[in-house]
Amino acid sequence: MRYKFVNGKAIIILDAGDKVIESLQEFAKKESVFGFFFGLGAVKNPIIAYYDLSRKEYIKKQFFGEFEVTSIMGNITQDTEGNVIVHAHINLADNSMNCWGGHLIEAEVSVTLEIIVITHGKISRKTDNRFKLKLISI
């Protein structure tokens, strides 16, 4: 992972072999950065999920192989215990141009992943008992 700060934004380049969520958490902890992000690139063997509201849990699915990341977006926040939370959604395309998307649990970068973080002061999350999710608290 390489990054630099430019005009209130962080440019992050993840390299082949980097784990996406793990790397973004590491970056946020090291630099104390919170904010919203977007990017594109390529990953392999991603695990994505859909939040089933009636069951109040994520339904996960792993995809095998290499995929274009046509879009990744999300935010970097902190919960009431001080844990960094990376909330990311991703859209993936395979070599037949089929697309899937959802909540990104984790993926390994296969070539590169280029991300821009629009930095912000601390953004907090707290548990919403109706949904059993940690939601942004303002």
Contact 69, 84 (CB under 8 A): no
What is the rounded CA–CA span in Å between residue 112 and residue 128?
35
Give pLDDT, residue 76.
Answer: 97
pLDDT of 27-55, one tens digit each? Answer: 999 999 999 999 999 999 999 999 999 99
The percent of residues in the chain predicted with pLDDT above 70, rounded, is: 100
Distances, alpha carbon 40 to alpha carbons 68, 96, 100, 109, in Å: 8, 18, 14, 11
pLDDT band at 19 (very low <50, low <70, confident <90, very high): very high
Domain spans, the chain: 2-137
Give pLDDT, residue 138.
Answer: 84
* Mean pLDDT of the region 82-102: 97
pLDDT band at 84 (very low <50, low <70, confident <90, very high): very high
Give pLDDT, residue 95.
Answer: 96
Query: Which residue has tokens 């700060």?
Result: 5
Contact 112, 42 (CB under 8 A): yes
* Mean pLDDT of the region 111-138: 93
Give pLDDT, residue 98.
Answer: 97
Task: State the average pLDDT for the chain.
Answer: 96
Domain 2-137 has CATH 3.10.129.10: no
